[in-house]
Amino acid sequence: MGINEFIEVRKDFIVPSRISIISKVRGLRPKEFKYGKVVRKTPLSECPFCPGNEFKTPPATLVVKLVNGEVLYLKDSDTERVRDWKVRIFPNKFPALTTLGTSLNYGYHEVIVETPEHIDLPYVKDLNQYVLVFKAIVKRFTNVLKDPKINHVILIKNYGPLSGASLEHPHMQFFATSFPLPYVVEEITYSTKYYKDYGRCPYCELISKDLNSSRFIYGNEGFIILSARAPRSPYEVWVLPKRHERSFINITDEEIRYLVDALQKILKAYEKCLGNPSFNLWLHTSPKKLSNGDDYVYHWHIEISPILTTWGGFEKGSGTYIIPVSPEEAGEYLKKCVRELI
Ligand SMILES: [Zn+2]
Ligand SMILES: [Zn+2]
Ligand SMILES: [Zn+2]
């Protein structure tokens, strides 16, 4: 085979202007990525996310507590903190947005502590605990979106030293903005166009097309995990709800169970089969409104991007990504890995 067969250009299914160059010239195997490995650290007694250290953070806006099997949703006051919590959501001490803002800087930037346990794992071990985390997120998002000044919200998780995470205690963050976030607007624009052209949501189409491809990694009754067709990093995956729905906050309790099952599986696969890399995860959901009205198509989803290579000037400057592993190879590898974990 000549070099022509080793380099292939792929377009993203949703946003065709996003391009990946699949280059197998280096022929890297999964364990040969030397970049982005998580260094395990000893627990920090001073960790502000650990139980007992609640006063090291601003007062929580939502605290989940279990009392005799009943789930309670509480909040801190300025002078008191809820103890014995399961999940804790509070404003970031170093926020990028503030409710004291008077312009585009108005917004919420909060931290979601996923477990009281100080453990360096990319996922929550106990699925019941994971369910509590996502129920709390839905509750908090629903509340924040009631703020008339807020239009959009994005959930993110940075894991590992190369992800931007500064603390190892398992946590996520969300940002709620007054303006719709540009990547989601771009996806909505293309989805709506696709719908006009073909009469179908492109995400629903992607699910049915890729279900029987080598990019299919895992599926349960509610969700499907696919290896991204035009990844921006090797082993990038998308977690898609099977039910067509533009807004994450409309997820049902039953769907939350399927979501955490899927998330745990893929994050375990990263940990066990990719050498526990740093990664970024984000959840794309519809804004409340777009400037051109309500007539648009969208399908909420999660994208997860492990940090196994670094973006150079070409990637940053061109919106084109050089990927040393094909999406099919990545899909088959992760699928096998997920199967072996079950
Ligand atoms: Zn901690
Ligand atoms: Zn759809
Ligand atoms: Zn997206």
Domain span including residue 248: 3-36+198-341
Clarify whether residues 74 and 166 are in a common domain.
Answer: yes
The pLDDT, as a whole number, for residue 197 is 98
Query: How does strand 152-159 pair with strand 171-177?
Result: antiparallel
pLDDT in tens, 218-239: 999 999 999 999 999 999 999 9
**43: CA distance to ligand 1 center in Å?**
7
189 within domain boundaries: no
Residue 66 has pLDDT above 70, yes or no: yes
| Residues 23, 6 contacting (CB under 8 angstroms) | yes
Q: How far apart are CA 253 and CA 104, in angstroms?
A: 33
Residue 126 has pLDDT above 80, yes or no: yes
Could you say which ligand is closest to the alpha carbon of residue 299? 2
pLDDT band, very low/low/confident/very high, at 31 (cuts 50, 70, 90): low
Residue 112 has pLDDT above 70, yes or no: yes
Residue 192 has pLDDT above 80, yes or no: yes
Greater confidence (263 vs 6) lies with 263
Could you say which ligand is closest to the alpha carbon of residue 301? 3
Structural domains counted in the chain: 2
Residue 67 has pLDDT above 80, yes or no: yes
Give the DSSP per-residue string, 301-325: EEEEEE-SS---HHHHHHSEEEESS
The pLDDT, as a whole number, for residue 290 is 81
Residue 108 has pLDDT above 90, yes or no: yes
**137: CA distance to ligand 1 center in Å?**
20
Please tell me whether residue 6 adopts helix, strand or coil conformation: helix
**286: CA distance to ligand 3 center in Å?**
10
**Could you tell me which of 100, 110, 70 has the C-alpha nearest to residue 86?**
70
**118: CA distance to ligand 1 center in Å?**
4
Clarify whether residues 204 and 336 are in a common domain.
Answer: yes
Could you say which ligand is closest to the alpha carbon of residue 42? 1
Q: Which CATH number is 147's domain given?
A: 3.30.428.10
| Residues 196, 269 contacting (CB under 8 angstroms) | no
For the record, the structure tokens of 133 come out as 């985390």
Q: Which residues pair with 8 in a beta bridge?
A: 22
pLDDT in tens, 143-178: 999 999 999 999 999 998 888 777 889 999 999 999
Residue 279 has pLDDT above 80, yes or no: yes
**217: CA distance to ligand 2 center in Å?**
19
**47: CA distance to ligand 1 center in Å?**
4
Report, as an integer, the average pLDDT of 299-317: 93
Cβ-based burial of 217 (10 A; exposed 0-12, middle 13-18, buried ≥19): buried
Report, as an integer, the average pLDDT of 109-131: 96
For the record, the structure tokens of 167 come out as 């603390």
Q: How far apart are CA 338 and CA 106, in angstroms?
A: 41
Clarify whether residues 88 and 168 are in a common domain.
Answer: yes
Could you say which ligand is closest to the alpha carbon of residue 297? 2
Q: What percent of the chain has pLDDT over 90?
A: 73
The residue among 147, 177, 207 that closes a domain is 177
The dihedrals phi and psi of 214, each to the nearest 5 degrees, come to -75, 0
Could you say which ligand is closest to the alpha carbon of residue 237? 3
Specify the length of the chain in residues.
Answer: 342
